[in-house]
Amino acid sequence: MIGFELSGEQKQWQKKAQAFAQEEIKPLAWKIDKGLTREYHWPLLAKMAKQGLLNMGGPEVYGGSGLDILTISMVLEELAVGDGGISFTASLNSYNAVMIAGNEEQQKKFLPLLCDTENPGLAAFALTEPNAGSDAGSIRTEARREGNEYVLNGEKSFISNGDVARVYAIFATVDKGKGIKGITGFIVPGDAEGLSPGKIEDKMGFRSSRTTGFFLNDVRIPETYRLGQEGDGFKIAMQELEVLRVLSCGAVGVGVARAAYEDALRFFKTVGDAKKIMGQQAISFHLADMLASIEASRLMVWKNSWMLDNKIPVGAMTSLTKFYVSDTAVEVANKGVQLLGHHAYTEQYPLEKYVRDAKLLQIYEGTNEITRLVASRGVFSN
């Protein structure tokens, strides 16, 4: 790892993702962002699935690409240069709760549904509720045991793929009195009776990633769909977030920042009058700062991914990576807008889109206040 020489396989995946992002994702992402397409982009996801870019972490035996977290990070960065929301969708599929906590029987049943390369299925991770965001331990959705079934009732909010997922990991409490020790994870199929979506959120950015709440009204599932034991749910959710903070915020964040930097650089290299001021320090110093923070962010993502792959305890590292990279993405995208002036303030160049997209990275999967809190406890507590 320290040599930074990528393997032949890693280079191939990177190249494939780069081509897919430029040829397939970028043109469509612009249309989705501007609301020019009404249909959900299943055809794009189907093409991604066929190329092994939608479920990268799933075992090959179930149809996944079987990649390690480091290689997934490299691919997600490239996809995010095309569009942050599409790359995020791939990250949720590539590292899901069934892979983390599912037993053999559950993996056999549900992973092929998420790894299907002909008819792709999406995963959803449903923890947040209308009154439980940062304070995820206070969720109220309940799971009542009846014989060898559980009956789920409650409401989830702001769930990515909330109305389009085929396999949901839903976190509910089996005993409110037990606090986080009552939280339990369940696999719920997308077509389960009693599961009904709320309204589709009209978002500032990441418009290619669908976000909705949903209601659970007497959703019955067999006890064999429970992830781990009763009370394991909070731990499972945090295990998944530990990886997603590196993939969905880290790798995706590097890609969004790179898109802004590369577009800004291209502008100064190619556009008439802009070429004349490229050499001025007021411009080139900003470009140098943008590139430096992108390089530093990528190193954090790669180191963190490598630690996860090698089962080295990450401690505060994922939180540091999450807030540093997402702050970088926002800063780089903002600088891009400033550098291009009025050109970037309109939709003539996609810089304004990158600012809107990057902002989400500071909010989801633990806000940057919460991840700073976690990191400061880990690093400065002794």
Ligand X SMILES: Cc1cc2nc3c(=O)[nH]c(=O)nc-3n(C[C@H](O)[C@H](O)[C@H](O)COP(=O)(O)OP(=O)(O)OC[C@H]3O[C@@H](n4cnc5c(N)ncnc54)[C@H](O)[C@@H]3O)c2cc1C
- Examine residue 158 and tell whether it contacts ligand X (CB under 6 A): yes
Among the listed residues 136, 32, 34, the one whose alpha carbon sits nearest the alpha carbon of residue 365: 136
Q: Which is nearer to ligand X, 180 or 363 (CB)?
A: 363
Give the per-residue contact string, 309-348, with ligand X (x = CB under 6 A; - = no).
----------------------------------------
**Smallest distance from ligand X to CB 249, Å:** 11
- Examine residue 360 and tell whether it contacts ligand X (CB under 6 A): yes
Q: Which of 65, 91, 93, 128 binds ligand X (CB under 6 A)?
A: 128
**Smallest distance from ligand X to CB 204, Å:** 9
Please give the DSSP secondary-structure letter assigned to residue 343.
H
- Per-residue 3-state assignment (H helix, E strand, C coil) for 259-317: HHHHHHHHHHHHCHHHHHHCCCHHHHHHHHHHHHHHHHHHHHHHHHHHHHHCCCCCCCH
Q: Which is nearer to ligand X, 72 or 360 (CB)?
A: 360
> How far is the C-alpha of 337 from the C-alpha of 260, rounded, in Å?
8
Q: Which residues are CB-neighbours of 47 under 8 A, at least 6 positions away?
A: 20, 24
- Examine residue 373 and tell whether it contacts ligand X (CB under 6 A): yes
- Examine residue 26 and tell whether it contacts ligand X (CB under 6 A): no
- Examine residue 367 and tell whether it contacts ligand X (CB under 6 A): yes
Q: Which is nearer to ligand X, 66 or 378 (CB)?
A: 378
Distances (CA, A) of 46 to 52, 114, 160: 10, 12, 18
Q: Which is nearer to ligand X, 225 or 364 (CB)?
A: 364
**Smallest distance from ligand X to CB 131, Å:** 8
CA 16, 19, 23, 26 dihedral sign is positive
- Examine residue 110 and tell whether it contacts ligand X (CB under 6 A): no
> How far is the C-alpha of 373 from the C-alpha of 382, rounded, in Å?
15
Distances (CA, A) of 25 to 30, 247, 330: 9, 18, 21
Chain positions 131 to 150 lying near ligand X, rule: CB under 6 A, are 133-134
Q: Which of 160, 184, 318, 319 binds ligand X (CB under 6 A)?
A: 160
Set 129, 230, 242, 365: catalytic member: 365
Closest residue by beta carbon to ligand X:
133
- Per-residue 3-state assignment (H helix, E strand, C coil) for 157-176: EEEECCCCCCEEEEEEECCH
Phi, psi (rounded to 5 degrees) for 168? -105, 140
Q: Is 331 a catalytic residue?
A: no
Torsion of CA 79, 14, 100, 372, to 10 degrees: -60
- Examine residue 78 and tell whether it contacts ligand X (CB under 6 A): no
Which amino acid, 90? Answer: A
- Examine residue 364 and tell whether it contacts ligand X (CB under 6 A): yes
Q: Which of 126, 167, 170, 254 binds ligand X (CB under 6 A)?
A: 126
Question: Applying CB under 6 A, which residues contact ligand X?
Answer: 125-128, 133-134, 158-160, 203, 206, 211, 360, 363-367, 369-370, 373
Residues assigned a catalytic role: 365
